[in-house]
A and B are shown apart, each in its own frame.
Chain A
């Protein structure tokens, strides 16, 4: 291979040289180190020797020419195999290099374990739900982590490929440490909320910026993040930063966001891509029912308020905390089959939903802290003693969430009947505005989205939402008098998302455990 010989920097920092004379002619054979050309710089006149033995095939400058350092001045055809090979460029990733990340060139999202319960410092990896190399959808559960508060599923903040798990099952990791790498996290939101005590302005790592920022959920306990110019403009325009959605990384408010807010335009930031369950329904007046329906009003003060102060109110950005439970519904299936037959006699369609609603209402009696909503005006969390359940429903006109009142006072069959009537009215578009408002808790059907887990988005300003996943058959362990055996069982998963500002994850976990108890022993629903 022809060597294209470039004029080297002969003395520290010379930039050019003048060809004084060629000491060989084109076509001449030369030895390694044999002088080929005499070059004059302002430091010295030197002879440039051949870098290898071979034949000088071409002279590319003439005597008297001034050539720049680095320009090719002659071609040399090295003698067979005699030329020492030039060293290849240094390989970027040698043995001791830090983890190079994904093979492709996309930015890798370093997902950090968030503070799942107020002030948890660490969590134990229970199990990885997504394998390395697998694709994940936004909000899809990636890993199950146990803290001293609860076992939770951590969802992916964006769609992508889980390229690396950075902790093993059984390992305890600190909040804030990177637990997985997500590649190709493109247009969607940045990493999940950072730990509350992190510096308010996210550290500027050298990763590429997220191309299309979306408003991201703020971390529990985080202050309002705003760039300094946004603060100044907010002050000048009299804008409350807590009301502004941030379009920057990690939800930071930019100046443009404040200006847009002041101008009355919708926030420049697109909302986190809503799942079908998300329909912001402002809290409406309580239904005018003459019955005394108990409510407990908890002052929204102190720690709760402090946390919430930082939150955006106009759009949904509540921090979610999802607990997931897998329920063996084999017995429920049997009972529902019986109930379905009975219902058909009355022209009532009986699905699983009335059973679930009933179970949920019973749960909410025990866990009223999950049953209710935030009243911003009075700065109170309303914990309800009655269960008005919103049922997220897909219609030709889009998603609506009609509400069934006082579920706890109704039987399964009554609920089934009411559901049927409501569904029909909803499909025909005849459901009233009052029927669409005032849920204390929402149930959503996540089963048709595929997968067995999700993190449903809370129906703001509710405290919680329950997602119901598809019924499926799977092997299960059944305990018997002769020991354990494997049987084909029926399962249904439930994902309970809780607004962590307003209730504890531990309560969510407990409620879900109770729900499971009820649904696995459906006879209890009659109590």
Chain B
């Protein structure tokens, strides 16, 4: 066991996967000798050489397009997009190509690739280093969207994503890269995709969250406990395909639901959670199915701390649904 930050766990996951499977490649901008702008790929070029961990020209569409090609040909590319905010030139390749290849070719061609990218706010990165675009990609059948919130999950989910036969978008909460530490097994292991994780047991209110919102919700739950409200916190982990049954079970358990994400509210991921609950377990709801989200505005820099849901805002929602 090692005590690693989430970032180190990603690095360890890459190394482990690359050691076990020589078809695994890592590439992207500045991932080679520099080791990535966050150092997620540090040491990979040194250990595995430039054929397996290398830099690319400044071209996201090229990174993903070529990754699809490599994957088609039997390699296991793990492409890095430097910031999720920069992924959009590659949107066409991801949505039109990677996600639809198996379907349109009847399985003749598939794209088992992983795209890793840091997402989310919390580092004063302003409009273009803070976006949470998971909703765009969860709206894409054929694609998988995974977001770890702990070092243990980061390594296990990453290895599982690399082994997965379908294209996976692996979103890493950059705010947690260095601020969250945990025990990580040294050997290779997987955490199954499409499973949720119960962070905290509770009976009065259920909070669904992922990524950097997990510690925020955990803190809010602790404050709520002081006020006598027992809060269950669920880390969704794989946003798509979602473990719907565990979501419904946790929602039904308390009948009071709050879903939290940084991304803007309208058509955000929480809307999907709310819709699923409304369709399947509405009769167990004691209060409006509630969301705490970023505002429907671009992501501001100086006022980032006002934009991001924090424990005050989550606690406020918990109190409201509890009192309804």
**B283–A228 CB distance below 8 A:** yes
- Whether A13 sits at the interface, judged by CB under 8 Å, is yes
**A209–B319 CB distance below 8 A:** yes
**B178–A204 CB distance below 8 A:** no
- With A and B bound together, what is the CA distance between A254 and B5 in angstroms? 45
Measured between C-beta atoms, what is the minimum distance from B4 to chain A in Å? Answer: 13
- Whether B287 sits at the interface, judged by CB under 8 Å, is yes
Measured between C-beta atoms, what is the minimum distance from A45 to chain B in Å? Answer: 14
Counting chain B CB atoms within 10 Å of each CB, the highest count among A9, A13, A206, A254 belongs to: A13
Which of A14, A201, A210, A229 meets B283, CB within 8 Å? A229
**B324–A232 CB distance below 8 A:** no
Chain A residues whose C-beta falls within 8 Å of the C-beta of B286 in the assembled complex? 227-229, 254-255
**B39–A42 CB distance below 8 A:** yes
- Whether B266 sits at the interface, judged by CB under 8 Å, is no
- Whether A497 sits at the interface, judged by CB under 8 Å, is no
- Whether A90 sits at the interface, judged by CB under 8 Å, is yes
- Whether B303 sits at the interface, judged by CB under 8 Å, is yes
Q: Closest chain B residue to A213 by CB distance? A: B323
- Whether B189 sits at the interface, judged by CB under 8 Å, is no
**B283–A248 CB distance below 8 A:** no
User: What's the dominant secondary structure at chain A's contact region?
Assistant: loop
- Whether B179 sits at the interface, judged by CB under 8 Å, is yes
**A13–B39 CB distance below 8 A:** no
- With A and B bound together, what is the CA distance between A372 and B303 in angstroms? 62
Interface membership of chain B positions 289-318, coded 1 if the CB is closer than 8 angstroms to chain A and 0 otherwise: 010000000000011000000000000100
- Whether A12 sits at the interface, judged by CB under 8 Å, is yes
Which of A12, A209, A210, A252 meets B125, CB within 8 Å? A12
**B178–A232 CB distance below 8 A:** no
- Whether B282 sits at the interface, judged by CB under 8 Å, is yes
Which of B37, B255, B324 meets A248, CB within 8 Å? B324
**A209–B316 CB distance below 8 A:** no
Chain B residues whose C-beta falls within 8 Å of the C-beta of A43 in the assembled complex? 39
- With A and B bound together, what is the CA distance between A102 and B290 in angstroms? 27
Measured between C-beta atoms, what is the minimum distance from A331 to chain B in Å? Answer: 55
Chain B residues whose C-beta falls within 8 Å of the C-beta of A229 in the assembled complex? 255, 283-286
- With A and B bound together, what is the CA distance between A13 and B130 in angstroms? 12
**Known A42-B39, A204-B320, A249-B324; contact A9-B283, beta-carbon cutoff 8 A:** no
**A9–B179 CB distance below 8 A:** no
- Whether A231 sits at the interface, judged by CB under 8 Å, is yes
Q: Closest chain B residue to A204 by CB distance? A: B288
Chain A residues whose C-beta falls within 8 Å of the C-beta of B302 in the assembled complex? 90
- Whether A513 sits at the interface, judged by CB under 8 Å, is no
- Whether A15 sits at the interface, judged by CB under 8 Å, is yes
- Whether B38 sits at the interface, judged by CB under 8 Å, is yes
- With A and B bound together, what is the CA distance between A252 and B288 in angstroms? 12
Chain B residues whose C-beta falls within 8 Å of the C-beta of A201 in the assembled complex? 288
Measured between C-beta atoms, what is the minimum distance from B278 to chain A in Å? Answer: 9
Measured between C-beta atoms, what is the minimum distance from B240 to chain A in Å? Answer: 26
- Whether B237 sits at the interface, judged by CB under 8 Å, is no
- Whether B124 sits at the interface, judged by CB under 8 Å, is yes
**A209–B303 CB distance below 8 A:** no
Counting chain B CB atoms within 10 Å of each CB, the highest count among A14, A227, A232 belongs to: A227
Interface membership of chain A positions 1-39, coded 1 if the CB is closer than 8 angstroms to chain B and 0 otherwise: 000000001001111100000000000000000000000
- With A and B bound together, what is the CA distance between A217 and B177 in angstroms? 53
Chain A residues whose C-beta falls within 8 Å of the C-beta of B116 in the assembled complex? none
Measured between C-beta atoms, what is the minimum distance from B171 to chain A in Å? Answer: 15
**B287–A227 CB distance below 8 A:** yes
Counting chain B CB atoms within 10 Å of each CB, the highest count among A12, A15, A201, A210 belongs to: A12
List which B105-144 residues lie within 8 A (CB) of chain A: 122-125, 129
Measured between C-beta atoms, what is the minimum distance from A17 to chain B in Å? Answer: 11
- With A and B bound together, what is the CA distance between A201 and B285 in angstroms? 12
List which A234-259 residues lie within 8 A (CB) of chain B: 248-249, 252, 254-255
Q: Closest chain A residue to B313 by CB distance? A: A206
Measured between C-beta atoms, what is the minimum distance from B285 to chain A in Å? Answer: 5
List which A173-210 residues lie within 8 A (CB) of chain B: 201, 204, 206, 208-210
Measured between C-beta atoms, what is the minimum distance from A252 to chain B in Å? Answer: 8
Which of B178, B287, B324 meets A14, CB within 8 Å? B178
| Additional A-B contact list (17), CB under 8 Å, known A12-B38, A201-B288 | A9-B124, A12-B37, A12-B129, A13-B38, A15-B5, A204-B321, A204-B324, A227-B287, A228-B282, A228-B283, A228-B286, A229-B283, A229-B284, A229-B285, A248-B324, A254-B286, A254-B324
* Interface, chain A (partner B; CB < 8 A): 9, 12-16, 42-43, 90, 201, 204, 206, 208-210, 227-229, 231-232, 248-249, 252, 254-255
Closest 7 CB pairs of A and B: A209-B323, A15-B178, A232-B283, A13-B123, A228-B285, A12-B123, A204-B288
Q: What are 30 A-B contacts defined by CB distance under 8 Å? A: A9-B123, A12-B124, A12-B129, A13-B178, A14-B178, A15-B5, A15-B178, A42-B39, A43-B39, A204-B288, A204-B290, A204-B320, A206-B320, A209-B320, A209-B323, A209-B324, A210-B323, A227-B287, A227-B324, A228-B283, A228-B285, A229-B255, A229-B284, A231-B283, A232-B284, A248-B324, A249-B324, A254-B324, A255-B255, A255-B286
